[in-house]
Amino acid sequence: MNQDEQVKVLGLWGSPFSKRVEIVLKLKGIPYEYIEDVYGNKSPMLLKYNPIHKKVPVLVHNGRSIAESLVIVEYIEDTWKTSYMILPQDPYERAMARFWAKYVDEKVMVAMWKACWGPKSEREKETKEAYEGLKYLEKELGDKHFFGGETIGFVDIAADFIGYWLGIVQEASGVTIMTAEEFPNLQRWSKEFISNNFIKEVLPPKQKLATLLKAQFGSVTSD
């Protein structure tokens, strides 16, 4: 059976979680059909393929669905063992990649989001957490081109929010935590990340994203 058959991605154009899946499919040269879900209105397809969380992204491959972006990314890696691999071979290096991807997902992104759009009473605490989280990532990245080393890997893909969305979120919310002065490595990394030809193809347009964010979360800033 042709492995490339019937790959569908159910996503939202502005979602960094959704884009992680598209990024890895592009990097690995896997063709897919993209289906846009609807902001604020979960489609029947979404409810069918992800009844547990009712969230995008969902990958449908040969009629079977997988949910949770980082689980999907690892599934793609396991299924299409092409020349472009996003996880290292060594078990220890793999564990480290998973650790940092999880850290980005569960700590940094959450804290950043709450620092920018959360209840005002919590912003100071969340800003501190976001700052500390970014500092750990800055240190982990170091002089490397990417978290994955010479090429874009699992952690880079998990950190797509930091690479692209963060700048736009900071501008839209008026909250600045990641500055070029304090985070030179991350700044350099994000420029390289978004200039990758495959990644460029899937990133949402800046202005459209800023408008969406302001519409969705802007009203929360007055509290």
Partner 1 sequence: MADEVILLDFWPSMFGMRTRIALEEKNVKFDYREQDLWNKSPILLEMNPVHSKIPVLIHNGKPVCESLIQVEYIDEVWPGINPLLPSDPYQRAQAKFWGDYIDKKVYASARLTWGAKGEEQEAGKKELIEILKTLESELGDKIYFGGETFGYVDIALIGFYSWFGAYEKFGNFSIEAECPKLIAWGKRCVERESVAKSLPDSEKIIKFVPELKKHFGIE
| Interface positions with partner 1 (CB under 8 A) | 52, 61, 64, 66-68, 71-72, 74-75, 78-79, 91-92, 94-95, 98-99, 102-103, 136
- CB nearer to partner 1: pick between 141 and 168: 141
Cα separation, 107 vs 194, whole angstroms = 22
Shortest distance, position 53 Cβ to partner 1, whole Å? 8
Shortest distance, position 222 Cβ to partner 1, whole Å? 28
Main-chain dihedrals φ then ψ at residue 51, nearest 5 degrees:
-65, -25
Residue with tokens 């949910």, as numbered in its chain: 67
Main-chain dihedrals φ then ψ at residue 58, nearest 5 degrees:
-130, 135
- CB nearer to partner 1: pick between 38 and 52: 52
Shortest distance, position 71 Cβ to partner 1, whole Å? 5
| CB burial of residue 107 (10 Å; 0-12, 13-18, 19+) | middle
- CB nearer to partner 1: pick between 39 and 99: 99
- CB nearer to partner 1: pick between 74 and 126: 74
- CB nearer to partner 1: pick between 111 and 172: 111
Q: How is 145-185 classified by DSSP, letter by letter? A: SBTTBSS--HHHHHTHIIIIIHHHHHHHH------TTT-HH
Shortest distance, position 10 Cβ to partner 1, whole Å? 15
- CB nearer to partner 1: pick between 67 and 86: 67
Cα separation, 44 vs 95, whole angstroms = 36
Shortest distance, position 155 Cβ to partner 1, whole Å? 13
List Cβ neighbours of 168 (8 Å cut-off, separation of 6 or more): 206, 209, 210, 213
Decide if 190 contacts 164 (C-beta within 8 A).
Answer: yes
Shortest distance, position 190 Cβ to partner 1, whole Å? 21
Q: Nearest to residue 3, comparing CAs of 84, 82, 86?
A: 82
